[in-house]
């Protein structure tokens, strides 16, 4: 029995929108083929130059071949560097602890 195509899912999540579109593409199809077939870019008027692609969370090029059952993900650019945000949060918490008189729950009753 010969299969005419493979099934993949194309996923996109953005502010106020989350889409999962299942598509069937020919064997040997690429990530870009699945994205085009899904219609997500046109439907949401997305700028492909601003999007990265991944398969199951692993970054891939758009010309990467797909396998049956793959999940193609369209990812948006980060608005902040996660490491920088964590460092700032840790520094802010450290500064709060240093300047605070102490946790009122740990005071002894009069």
Q: Whole-model pTM? A: 0.69
pLDDT-derived band at 2, boundaries 50, 70, 90: very low
pLDDT in tens, 74-98: 998 777 777 888 888 888 888 777 6
Q: Taking the CB of residue 109, how many other CB atoms lie within 10 A of it?
A: 3
The single-letter DSSP state of residue 76 is P
Q: Report the distance separating Cα 58 and Cα 25, nearest Å.
A: 20
pLDDT in tens, 22-49: 999 999 999 999 999 999 999 999 999 9
Please report the domains of the chain, with CATH numbers, ordered by start residue: 1-101 (3.10.20.90)
């Amino acid at each position: 029995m010969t299969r005419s195509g493979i099934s993949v899912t194309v996923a996109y999540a953005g502010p106020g929108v989350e889409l999962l579109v299942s598509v069937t593409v020919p064997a040997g199809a690429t990530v870009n083929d699945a994205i085009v077939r899904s219609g997500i870019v046109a439907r949401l008027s997305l700028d492909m130059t601003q999007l990265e692609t991944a398969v199951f969370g692993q970054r891939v090029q758009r010309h990467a071949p797909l396998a049956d059952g793959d999940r193609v993900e369209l990812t948006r650019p980060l608005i902040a560097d996660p490491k920088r945000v964590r460092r700032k949060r840790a520094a802010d918490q450290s500064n709060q602890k240093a300047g605070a008189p102490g946790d009122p729950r740990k005071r002894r009753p009069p």
